[in-house]
Amino acid sequence: MTFLPLAPAGTTPQRVLTIAGSDSGGGAGIQADIRTMALLGVHACVAVTAITVQNTLGVRGIHEVPDDVVAGQIEAVVTDIGVQAAKTGMLASSRIVDTVATTWRRLDLAAPLVVDPVCASMHGDALLAPSALDSLRTQLFPLATLVTPNLDEVRLLVDIDVIDSTSQRAAAKALRALGPRWALVKGGHLRASDSSCDLLYGGPSEGADFYEFDAQRLATGNDHGGGDTLATAIAAALAHGATVPNAVAFGKRWVTECLRAAYPLGRGHGPVSPLFRLS
């Protein structure tokens, strides 16, 4: 695949901020985000929202970071280092969602923002309080350049059960109506075919359109961190000035190769792996 351009040695690379939770097992969350950023030649900045106690078998506990510390991390990074794009992952509660949105508006940030509305782990463990769904819809989505829910998250956010291409299109329109400029409805959980089709909807208000991104479905149980990796790769491409459709196309190719290179770990689901780029 074609990669993003690397900054010449000794020069400052593009900077991307991840606002997300920490995964002690290293498979998802900020750990997955940093891996992808590093292997795409992007400098990773971090605002930690929560610390999870988890491994490949599931989440055992969550400790939320205080509001002022979440806001302080974001402000410290953007007022000194600067960012060309940002993405969110696990935000845990309405309190943290509101804090991120308020801080983003207060700093008047113009960088592209990718919102991955993480609601639960791949094992079904809750990573977002139900009360926070409305905060996502009303506070954070209107600030987003792009939202990237999986099908379970789509059902929670817009009450649409995606079972085919027609319902996938309806879901994309419903998500965009909440305020983001673009909505990506990921098809990885739609197991009806041998391919995985992600559907993007957005563009100018009077000229919104659909874009389809298809890839062969890979038979692996080691797919932990796939959603984080996709959103991060998209944010990295946006930081380089790519259009949203081109950034999504790049992210789709990247996560497909990361799935192909996924490895077993522990007694549960291993992580997707960007380490393929080293070879």
Place of tokens 């790519």: 242
Structure tokens at 132: 């926070």
What 8-state DSSP symbol labels residue 101?
A: H
Nearest by Cα to 200 from 94, 114, 90: 114
Whether 82 has a pLDDT exceeding 90, the answer reads: yes
Rounded to an integer, what distance in angstroms lies between the CA atom of residue 38 and that of residue 31? 11
What 8-state DSSP symbol labels residue 1?
A: -
The reply to whether the predicted model has a pTM over 0.85 is yes
Q: Where would I find the H helices in the chain?
A: 29-39, 67-80, 94-106, 132-135, 151-158, 165-176, 226-239, 244-260
Pairing of strands 146-147, 182-185: parallel
Whether 102 has a pLDDT exceeding 60, the answer reads: yes
Nearest by Cα to 226 from 262, 193, 191, 178: 262
Whole-angstrom CA distances from 26 to 78, 257, 270, 271 are 25, 19, 10, 8
How high is the pLDDT of residue 167?
95
How high is the pLDDT of residue 205?
74
What value does the mean pLDDT take over residues 91-120? 96
How high is the pLDDT of residue 28?
97
Place of tokens 């992007």: 42
User: What domains lie within the chain, and their CATH numbers?
Assistant: 15-278 (3.40.1190.20)
The model's pLDDT over 260-279, given as tens digits with 9 standing for 90+, comes to 999 999 999 999 999 999 98
Whether 122 has a pLDDT exceeding 80, the answer reads: no
AA identity, residue 42: V
How high is the pLDDT of residue 206?
74
Q: Are 224 and 203 in contact (CB under 8 A)?
A: no
Contacts of 235 (CB under 8 A, 6+ apart): 16, 18, 85, 86, 87, 112, 114, 247
Q: How many CB atoms lie within 10 A of CB 182?
A: 25
Q: Are 183 and 202 in contact (CB under 8 A)?
A: yes
What value does the mean pLDDT take over residues 213-236? 94
Rounded to an integer, what distance in angstroms lies between the CA atom of residue 162 and that of residue 56? 27
